[in-house]
Amino acid sequence: MTVAALPIPSRTAEAEERPLKLRIANLSFWYGRRQVLFDVTLPVRERRITALIGPSGCGKSTLLRCINRLHDLEPGHRYQGRILLEPGGLDVLAPHTDPLLVRLRIGMVFQKPNPFPTSIYENVAAGLRIRGVRKRALLDEQVEKSLRRAGLWAEVKDRLHDHAFNLSGGQQQRLCIARALAPEPELLLLDEPTSALDPAATAHIEALLSELKSRYTILLVTHLMQQAARIAHDVAFLHLGRLVEFGPAAEVLVRPRDPRTRRYLAGHAA
Amino acid sequence: MPSVGAEGLSSFAPSAGFLRRRRLLAGLFAALLWAAAALSVLITLAIVAVLIGESLPFLEEVGLSAVLLDTVWTPLFAEPRYGIWALVAGTLTTTLIALALALPAGLALALYLCEYAPPRLREAAKPVLELLAAVPTVVYGYFALLVVTPLLQGLIPGLPPFNMLAAGLVLGVMILPYAVSLSEDALRAVPRELREAAYALGFTRLQTGLGVMLPAARSGIVSAFLLALARAMGETMVVTLAAGQNPRFTFNPLEGAATMTAYIVQVSFGDVPYGSRAYRSLFVVALGLFLCTFAVNLLATLLSRKRSHRGA
């Protein structure tokens, strides 16, 4: 029996060597009485882009928000199962785990740009300041580096102390990426980061993510199949709160094995 | 899809009569709304007109300089003096003490309710807080005179029974509900995404509250406190009962001093003959008070407008 015939899709040798950044095991989630996620098991490999795809309401964003315990902000939620953040196997969902410790290791970018109501500079520096960075030189350096990585430096370097709200939507979203990158998180969660942007800004951000993948582990929620195809290594398809299919992008998107995935992809192609 | 008539019109196209009636109704309603808005503006203008109309003869008689360049207010004496600053000082001192109490306490409470309190406590606390606003001000006044002042006298020996400290502190408690309730509304109106961004970045509650929520809600909070301030300035019973009715140019909170409102009450209740100079002095003080609260309200409007330009 060849490797390709195994139920787990084959991967290149290089990919297999990548250690796991995140182990999501048998994760279920409830909002009040409504169960939104059902027994989701998903590995996320280090310095790779893993895309979560699926129809609206399938639980993609909910899954993402479990990983940094963002659901804790709203009352009436319940987690079951495990999420381990590597290295160190930090048990993300354990009651005794301080969600702050989890969030300090993970960055997040949201659907809509949500810069803080302050200057461009202070937006990027915010994550560093709350981590106790006080030295001006270090802040300056890290702000520039993050803005460069987010592809925004050239546009804002002469007006770092302008209010962030004066930027365009696409620029604001790149600012939010820079803000998330500044504290150098181990894992970057992206929740449909281009859904509020025009095609040009979207292309810009996709190019950016492709560059970032050599340095960061990225978990990307997207409803754009083309986006997943363009930049993701691994793709997970969620349907009605269940993980239906997971594997290398080329296989899940080109040769889906589950009929639900096939139907969804066909609907998208139409 | 609606069927299409012979002329290419949808069969749902409304008749000319229907459109005319609809236009008439809309016009009628707009006129009604305009009248309501105009009425409130008219009332304000009428009040200002009366204040100015009654003040002008007085100012012509004694001169504006006698009012603005003096600090002794003795309009009922044989040799009357009209230095309004004696009353303004009382109003400013009590108002500032009130603000000194209400600002930190109000911000802390609003922040607590918004970021820390469990939702059920928050839902329960706000109506109770708003109930505080329903306590008659005369009750606050006696509370200041009969409870707060004796307590303060235990701490500060020699504190006179009428003093601006007790009046200001109770005034601060009185305006707290307004300040907290409006500030909390402003905090709650901060987009959820902003709060999430802060937490996702690893902010603690305190960092989120102070670093993101307060700045984001700044305009609303500033107007909340300025409105509360205007209320404190116009408040009458508390200061009349607790700070006394003796006009004295002083900013020392440990002394008693009449405020502008206290003087108005005093003269309104007294046997001042209609049309006399003392009678007219009432309107001058009222005009001064109106200008003070108007300035504060104007500031509130300007500050919240300046902010909204940025689209916050």
Q: Which of B196, B202, B311 sits opposite A130 (nearest CB)?
A: B202
Residue A113 has a CB neighbour count (10 Å cut-off) of 25
Q: Same structural domain for residues A160 and A191?
A: no
CA nearest to B110, candidates B196, B195, B207, B188 = B188
Quick check: ipTM above 0.85?
Answer: yes
Residue A7 covered by a domain: no
For residues B274-278, give the mean pLDDT.
81
* pLDDT (tens place) for every residue of chain A, 270 residues total: 343 433 444 444 445 568 889 999 999 999 989 999 999 999 999 999 999 998 888 899 999 999 999 998 888 899 999 999 988 888 989 989 999 999 999 999 999 999 999 999 999 999 999 999 999 999 999 999 999 988 899 999 999 999 999 999 889 999 999 999 999 999 999 999 988 878 888 888 888 888 888 888 999 999 888 888 889 999 999 999 999 999 999 888 888 888 999 888 888 654
> Cβ of B215 and A176 within 8 Å?
no
Distances in Å between the Cα of A68 and the Cα atoms of A64, A244, B214, B282, B308 are 7, 23, 24, 64, 32
Q: Same structural domain for residues A78 and A134?
A: no
Answer with the one of A146, A165, A185 that is the final residue of a domain. Answer: A185
Count of residues making up chain A: 270
Q: How far apart are CA A194 and CA A265, in angstroms?
A: 20
Q: Same structural domain for residues A208 and A86?
A: yes
Cβ-based neighbours of A249, under 8 Å, separated by 6 or more: A51, A228, A229, A232, A233, A234, A235
Q: Same structural domain for residues A101 and A206?
A: yes
What CATH number is attached to the domain comprising A236?
3.40.50.300
> Cβ of A104 and B202 within 8 Å?
yes
For residues B199-203, give the mean pLDDT.
95
Answer with the one of A185, A220, A235 that is the final residue of a domain. Answer: A185
Q: Same structural domain for residues A99 and A63?
A: yes
Write the single-letter amino acid at B95.
T
> Cβ of B202 and A126 within 8 Å?
no
Chain B, nearest residue to A69 by Cα: B200
Sheet with A90-91, edge to edge strand ranges: A34-45, A20-31, A77-85, A90-91
> Cβ of A127 and B202 within 8 Å?
yes
Answer with the one of A185, A211, A226 that is the final residue of a domain. Answer: A185
Query: Any CB–CB contact under 8 A between B121 and chain A?
Result: no
Encode pLDDT of B44-68 as tens digits: 899 999 999 989 988 888 888 888 8
Mutation target among A62, A64, A100, A173 for the B interface, most CBs of B within 10 A: A100
Chain B, nearest residue to A129 by Cα: B203
pLDDT at B312: 38
For residue A168, the enclosing domain spans 115-185
Residues of A in contact with B207 (CB under 8 A): 130
Query: Any CB–CB contact under 8 A between B311 and chain A?
Result: yes
Encode pLDDT of B210-230 as tens digits: 999 999 998 889 888 988 998
CA nearest to A109, candidates A173, A156, A187, A200 = A173
> Cβ of A131 and B202 within 8 Å?
yes
CATH, domain range B85-308: 1.10.3720.10
List, in sequence order, every beta strand (DSSP E) within chain B.
none
Residue A221 covered by a domain: yes
Q: Same structural domain for residues A226 and A237?
A: yes
> Cβ of B200 and A100 within 8 Å?
no
Residue A6 covered by a domain: no
Count: domains in chain A: 2
Mutation target among B122, B192, B193, B201 for the A interface, most CBs of A within 10 A: B201
Residue A158 covered by a domain: yes
Residue A2 covered by a domain: no
